[in-house]
Chain A
Amino acid sequence: GQQLNQSPQSMFIQEGEDVSMNCTSSSIFNTWLWYKQDPGEGPVLLIALYKAGELTSNGRLTAQFGITRKDSFLNISASIPSDVGIYFCAGADNYGQNFVFGPGTRLSVLP
């Protein structure tokens, strides 16, 4: 079945640094979502992407829908302690109802 890979699996950064993470698939997707999950909570939607090449921002977060439609990137600028958590990507194929989720990137921010 469809699978998503996320890299890196985990990362430790200093507060104030920029962060980049990505999500790749062997299949083409037509929708990409990025979620953040805090410990003991459900994933919270950060950014939704619906068009190849689309670049969308949400505050310090920027995500891009890869032009090959097989990948997506999430960047966080000037990281702060509350950015700590697990970041999941999710993809859906054309008119599919269901999303496939990646395994997540665990972000730790050091003061």
Chain B
Amino acid sequence: KNEVEQSPQNLTAQEGEFITINCSYSVGISALHWLQQHPGGGIVSLFMLSSGKKKHGRLIATINIQEKHSSLHITASHPRDSAVYICAVRPPAYSGAGSYQLTFGKGTKLSVIP
């Protein structure tokens, strides 16, 4: 079973700062997801990555398959970015039914101060 580690666990930043959240996993995957959970509790899917880099607005996600590592970057951070960011990985497609099963990191709690 994959072990997913996120760092840091908690992060406090000043508004406008560049933020990086890291995710490492132990065995090969078919895809990695970055999720955002706001204080109200709802979970939103931000990115799904199997290689390279994706960008959406001020958010950038990268993945290095060889190093089993992904990063989520937030440029020009804003208080509304305050949330818990969760990394989740999917097993390879040859896992059959198991390839749908996500393994989650414990999350990174981000607080952006005005």
Q: Is B one of A's binding partners? A: no
Residues in chain B within 8 A of chain A (CB atoms): none
Residues in chain A within 8 A of chain B (CB atoms): none
